[in-house]
Chains A and B, each alone.
Chain A
Amino acid sequence: MSAALSVSGLSKSFAGVRAIRDLSFEVPKGRTTALIGPNGAGKTTVFNLVSGVYGVDAGRITVIGTDVTHMASRRRISTGVARSFQNIRLMSHLSVLENLLVGQHVRASSLGALLTPYRLIPNHRWKREARAALAESGLEAYADETVGALPYGVRKRIDLVRATLAGASVLMLDEPAAGLNPSETNALRDHLKALARKGVTLLVVEHDMHFVDSICESVVVLNFGEKIAEGPLSEVRRDPKVREAYIGTDGED
């Protein structure tokens, strides 16, 4: 099976601290993979390197066959990789719908698209599409609300919907279930499974192992910026190195 996302020999240091060390792994196309590890293991740094927030010190990043290692961060989304954020990064004084429209930008960035007065056109296809995506997640009631006024769980889900609107085939989700209540977590699980059924490749950073177990086919375990194990969760959790890394944390259940 070909890889949707592959990193090889990836390294990154911050002021002498080696955050990622010679990291290599592949995310197979159409599969859901989790990136797990204790706090500070470098999971979010991997997302930041793949999306281009940080440049790499060494190594290579490939998204669906395209080498994006030195590509400008804003161009990477057009190769098919989009992400969500651990600490929700929505534009809080805009409405939900407007936030989602920004998410569509990569598919509507021509001069003509930029200058189309979509707000004057009732039911413009961009708005219809964004509302449809909200409806799929059961969030259509919030379309016209100001994002800043919404509860945490709803904002978290909207951050995810925005990431899906780029039409990316690889989605990197940074702790999508963190801070959600059980019913919101269930809704999120259904949503992610629906995305996976559509063929979207998911790479998920998550601490909740029950959640990981319920959606991910395989996991990559990081500790101190290095890969210490890889494979199905049931196998990985028996690995002595993983047990050692997780001692005293809730991942060891």
Chain B
Amino acid sequence: MSGYLTGVLVVLAFNVMAAYAVYLPLAAGQLNLGIAGFMAIGAYASAFLTNEYGWSMWAAIPLGSMLAGGMGVLIGIPVLRTHGIYLAMATFALGQVISAVFLNLEVVGGAAGYPVSDYATPGVVWAAAAGVVVLMLYVSRTRFALCLTAVKSDPTVADLLGVSVRGMQVAAFALGAAVAGFGGGLYAHHYNFVEAQHFNVLLSVFTVLYVLFGGTQTVWGPLVGAAFFTLVPEVLRASDQWRYAVFAAFIILFMAVRPQGLVTASLLRVFRRRRVTP
């Protein structure tokens, strides 16, 4: 495999993990615009453990992920009291704050960045992304996922039917944070370098775009969205500087035709029915 293709597929793997980190809270109707901050927590925490304590990345990355998830719970409980645009603003600010903290934290290199000692090969990154996809597919087959959808569709009715709306929202937010931290840890160990500037607002916003574009109704949406956003600009590379204009036009067109995202529940149901009755 060429170095170029490997590079693109590694980026795809990171984007897929980030997309699911955004998708989980979004499945419960919560927009997390600070996902880059949770990636930074996972990245720096795992890098710190491998660098300073000589941990293997196999232990450091999961621990960084758990730490990001734990922060998700701590932050999610107060932040999820806000709704709609206010929640978006709160999480947006949160991402900025986390990034700014790492930028000023000299123990992890501050603005100069932080070299990381252990290396995650492309194979490890792909396997991890595949693992995240499988985990999400599993979760999507459970009652937990159904509850998230219920909370998103009609929180009042979900509550009256006995669903803990706050509990589900915090769980989804924290799980998303853990997935983000997992991706962040792998990122640090694949590129062997972390800098706070990477975990910026654009990273959070683009990831939300993947997910909205792919669709939030089914578990396949984030995968399709991330693949589209990663691969199509590469395919359009031949048209050089026009590729972003063409790509943006694509997005506007698709969102106009399919405002619920590319992959919707009813679309999947149509496919399933065709398979049953050919």
Residues of A within 8 A of B (CB): 51-53, 73-78, 82-83, 85, 89, 91-95, 98, 101-103, 105-106, 108-109, 113-120, 126, 144, 146, 149, 162, 166
Contact = CB atoms under 8 A, between A and B. Distances in A.
B156 interface: yes
B81 to A, nearest CB: 16
B275 interface: no
18 contacts: A74-B159, A74-B161, A74-B165, A78-B162, A85-B157, A91-B154, A102-B158, A105-B143, A105-B147, A105-B161, A105-B163, A106-B161, A106-B162, A115-B143, A117-B141, A118-B143, A144-B269, A162-B161
Nearest to A111: B144
A126 B217 CA distance: 22
Interface of B: 138, 140-144, 146-147, 149-150, 153-154, 156-165, 217, 264-266, 269, 273
A77 B141 contact: no
Given A105-B147, A118-B143, A52 B153 contact: no
Nearest to B273: A144
Closest 4 CB pairs of A and B: A106-B162, A119-B141, A91-B153, A117-B141
A52 B153 CA distance: 19
Contact of B266 (A51, A93, A109, A117): A93
A105 B158 CA distance: 9
A100 to B, nearest CB: 11
Which of B146, B153, B164, B165: most chain A CB closer than 10 A?
B146
A91 B154 CA distance: 7
Contacts of A109: 162-164
A101 B264 CA distance: 20
Contacts of A114: 142-144, 147
Given A93-B153, A98-B149, 4 more contacts: A53-B156, A77-B160, A78-B162, A114-B147
B153 A74 contact: no
Contacts of B156: 53, 89
B162 A92 contact: no
B264 to A, nearest CB: 8
Contact of B161 (A52, A94, A98, A103): A103
A74 B140 CA distance: 23
B11 to A, nearest CB: 31
A120 B160 CA distance: 27
Contacts of A92: 153
Given A75-B162, A94-B153, A115 B266 contact: no
B143 A52 contact: no
B160 A113 contact: no
A114 B266 CA distance: 24
Nearest to B276: A144
B265 A73 contact: no
Nearest to B153: A91
A28 B66 CA distance: 52
A119 B184 CA distance: 31
Contact of B269 (A51, A126, A146): A146
A82 B154 CA distance: 16
Contact of B160 (A74, A144, A146): A74
A89 B157 CA distance: 7
B265 A94 contact: yes
A96 B41 CA distance: 41
B160 A53 contact: yes
